[in-house]
Chains A and B, each alone.
Chain A
Amino acid sequence: AQSVTQPDIHITVSEGASLELRCNYSYGATPYLFWYVQSPGQGLQLLLKYFSGDTLVQGIKGFEAEFKRSQSSFNLRKPSVHWSDAAEYFCATDNYGQNFVFGPGTRLSVLP
Chain B
Amino acid sequence: DTAVSQTPKYLVTQMGNDKSIKCEQNLGHDTMYWYKQDSKKFLKIMFSYNNKELIINETVPNRFSPKSPDKAHLNLHINSLELGDSAVYFCASSQDLGYNEQFFGPGTRLTVL
Contacts and interface: CB of A to CB of B under 8 A. Distances in A.
B48 A90 contact: no
Interface in A41-68: 42-46, 49, 51
Contact of B40 (A38, A46, A90, A104): A104
A32 interface: yes
B45 A43 contact: no
Given A32-B99, A98-B55, A98-B56, A43 B105 contact: yes
Chain B's interface: helix, strand, loop or mixed, by majority? strand
Interface string B60-95: 000000000000000000000000000000101000
Contact of B48 (A49, A98, A105, A107): A98
B18 interface: no
A64 B22 CA distance: 34
Nearest to B106: A43
A36 B101 CA distance: 10
A43 B93 CA distance: 13
15 contacts: A36-B104, A38-B41, A43-B4, A44-B90, A45-B104, A46-B102, A49-B101, A90-B43, A94-B98, A98-B48, A98-B56, A99-B45, A100-B35, A100-B45, A100-B102
Interface of A: 32, 34, 36, 38, 42-46, 49, 51, 88, 90, 94-95, 97-102, 104-105, 107
By Cβ-Cβ distance, the 9 closest A-B pairs, closest first, are A97-B98, A44-B104, A102-B43, A99-B45, A43-B106, A43-B104, A32-B99, A105-B41, A94-B99
